[in-house]
Structure 1
Amino acid sequence: MATIKEIADKSNVSTSTVSRVLNNDQTLTVQTETRERILRVAKELGYETILERRLKQRQLNSKHVGIILTQSLDEEISDPYFLSIRQGIEMELASNGINTATFRLHETEGNQMMEGLDGLIVVGRVKETTLKAISQVDNVVYINHSQNEDLYDSVVINFELATEKALKHLVSIGYTRIGYIGGKEMEHMKNQRLISEDKRLTTFERFMKERDLFDQNAVFVGEYTMAQGYKLMKKAIQSAKLPEAFFIGSDPMAIGALRALQEANLNVPSDVAIIGFDDIEAAKFASTPLSTIRVHTREMGRTGVKLLLDRLNGRELPLTVTLPTELVIRESCGGLVTK
């Protein structure tokens, strides 16, 4: 948004004059042509007066926004990825004074709980038919999943690109026998859980096959929990040929895997290298600090709220925002200076 100084410079008047005109100071004596010029320049530069901003804020404060969570409370606790997204949403809504209601999809029946909402923020994967069955809200923002980019706003990351960053690094420092440990992407509904495609796994398979390095026996899939990371790594250790490096689909799983390797007296990274995914706070404090893919989860939540508020202010064109990810190198995979 333009500043008062920019408007003053373009209007060829002082900043104090611009400020008083934009705030409708009736005690100011100024020529009509000058006043009109200032207002025209302010409009051209997209400036909002304090009164206009206050009016918009009052309008927003009267809105009611629902947050639909596709994860159970246990899943949120065991894997902070979605918890961090939710915290970003709640912080941004609170800072804007928006009234909110939170629902967990697997606990919701019918649309009796979804009435009277001006907008919805959906965290995770929900089919369009499922969403319409529980709510008739038009303004919907998806986070971590893009359901229909022609209709809905969404905030996502590029899982394929993020996975390739990790694998390219492992290959670049000489690893060829690379394994995968991950969970299942779930769509939760009342009384059922549907398994969906996990782009981390499918990208891993494609990447390794393209280089003739894929080994089905090096793929281990369970649930996205620390306990499952531990269990799956123990299974990998007991297999005939332990991979020399692993890409692991979440940091909690990677921390569990580290424990299994430690119990087997295997050193990380000299015996087995690891790259995780998320960069949760615990990653840098693990027994061997984790190399990982950093995902800006809280910013995903904040961005989702900003998109929804923009919709409520009148934007009609749906937008998809893809936030970047970063490869963070620490001790668990070696090869580069640690952070």
Structure 2
Amino acid sequence: MTTIKDIAAYAKVSSSTVSRVLNNDPTLSVADETRNRIIEASKELGYTTVRKRRNEQKLENLSSPRIGIILTCSLEEEEDGVDDPYFSIIRQGVESECLNQGIYTNKVIRSTDSHQEQIIEDIDGLIVIGGMNLGLLNRLKDSLDNIVFINNSPDEDSYDSVMIDFRKATTSAMEHLLNQGFKEIGYIGGSVSDDFSDNNLVSRDMRLTIYEEIMKSKGTYRRDQVFIGEFSMTQGYQLMKDAISKGNLPEAFFIASDSMAIGALRAIQEANLKVPEDIAIVSFNDVQMAKFASVPLTSVKVYTEQMGRVGVKMLLDRINGRDIPLKVTLPTKLVIRDSCGVKKKVDS
């Protein structure tokens, strides 16, 4: 069956743009020529046949649930999704599964919207990708029971959630580097906004916490080898430049996202250093561009699109009468590529 990714490749646009055009996202600003090219591509690839069938199902079933999506990222951040496409891919999974189920996500709400409560009033279920302001969540408790959180679990006794095991995933990355014989391992990561706070605080990334625990247990933790910025290629580039300028580079880095790792690769190359000969790298997410980086990245694979699809199925199950909240943890997998280097001989 034709997918959104197929149409995006055919029309030479991003999957996010295709999804928003086909779902009639009113916040999307796109040239008519691009919109028409996407629609024509969907027709040529047979995608309209699927959509027509779903429309017929919708007419036959007027009680089809109305689902809203809350996005942590702003419109500008999503349009720049190539910089860190993690949440955009989750959204694509949500929207693809909604289409498969004959449901149209006609409500897209951003955490930056000032009128969230009014938008949410006429929906049957809500999928929150990332976080939600705690004050808003408390106000929704009496009016909306059907909420699924993806990549966050603020209250597993009340709400469904789809997660990954960050501890297990980070440990697999760190153990791989340690098993390669690396002792000095640095960290590059981003800050995480606390969307469950009314004060827009920054919370601690679990990947950093686990990294510190492991390095301290080995007696090799050094605070000056930890570099924190934002989850973007630009910040990955700048943070690696900062690390290089300080000197005494660690043998390897665990980098908390592929986007940051790709930026770091550029900084390393500009310094006439080589990966993995001078610096080994293991990153996180395994988005598509990881295997096409200048040095293909060893990365922890997160099944982001499946997280979105599972979230939709859980929400429908909840709408159909399930009372007990569920927390689903999807597996991750370390994908070995060139950036981590060959096995080094461990000093005796």
Q: TM-score band, normalised by the shorter chain?
A: 0.7 to 0.9
Which of 205, 221, 226 matches 2:233? 226
Query: Deviation of residue 75 (structure 1)?
Result: 3.1
| Structure 2 residue 178 is the aligned partner of structure 1 residue 176 | no
For structure 1, the 5+ residue unaligned runs are: 1-53
User: Residues 81-92 of structure 1: matches in 2 within 5 Å?
Assistant: 81-92=86-97
Q: Is the 8 A contact 2:133 2:197 kept in 1?
A: no
Please give the secondary structure, in 2, of the residue aligned with 1:98.
Answer: coil
User: Residues 113-192 of structure 1: matches in 2 within 5 Å?
Assistant: 113-133=119-139, 136-188=143-195
Once residues 223 and 60 of structure 2 are traced to their aligned partners in structure 1, the CA distance between those partners, rounded to angstroms, is 57
Q: Which amino acid aligns with 1:112?
A: Q
Equivalent residue, structure 1, for 2:249: 242
TM-score by length of 1: 0.79
Q: Which amino acid aligns with 2:180?
A: I
Q: Is the 8 A contact 2:131 2:196 kept in 1?
A: no
| Structure 2 residue 286 is the aligned partner of structure 1 residue 284 | no
Once residues 128 and 175 of structure 2 are traced to their aligned partners in structure 1, the CA distance between those partners, rounded to angstroms, is 32
Q: Is the 8 A contact 1:61 1:96 kept in 2?
A: no
Deviates more, 1:196-205 or 1:322-331: 196-205
Query: Deviation of residue 191 (structure 1)?
Result: 10
Q: 1:196/1:126 Cα in 2 relative to 1: closer, same or farther (>3 Å)?
A: farther
Equivalent residue, structure 1, for 2:209: 202
Please give the secondary structure, in 1, of the residue aligned with 2:227.
Answer: strand
Once residues 116 and 326 of structure 2 are traced to their aligned partners in structure 1, the CA distance between those partners, rounded to angstroms, is 28
Q: 1:236/1:309 Cα in 2 relative to 1: closer, same or farther (>3 Å)?
A: same
Q: Is the 8 A contact 2:127 2:148 kept in 1?
A: yes
Please give the secondary structure, in 2, of the residue aligned with 1:210.
Answer: helix
Q: Deviations over 1:254-278 (max 9, x none)?
A: 0000000000010100100001111
Q: Is the 8 A contact 1:128 1:147 kept in 2?
A: no
Please give the secondary structure, in 1, of the residue aligned with 2:117.
Answer: coil
Equivalent residue, structure 2, for 1:304: 311
Of all paired residues, the percent bearing the same amino acid is: 52
Q: Is the 8 A contact 2:237 2:263 kept in 1?
A: yes
For structure 2, the 5+ residue unaligned runs are: 1-55, 344-348
State the structure with more CA Rg.
1
Which of 197, 215, 223 matches 2:222? 215
Which of 302, 316, 319 matches 1:295? 302
Equivalent residue, structure 1, for 2:265: 258
Please give the secondary structure, in 2, of the residue aligned with 1:147.
Answer: coil
Q: 1:131/1:261 Cα in 2 relative to 1: closer, same or farther (>3 Å)?
A: same
Equivalent residue, structure 1, for 2:84: 79
Deviates more, 1:60-69 or 1:294-303: 60-69
Q: Is the 8 A contact 2:162 2:328 kept in 1?
A: yes
Query: Deviation of residue 55 (structure 1)?
Result: 10
What RMSD, in angstroms, separates the aligned Cα atoms of the two structures? Answer: 2.3
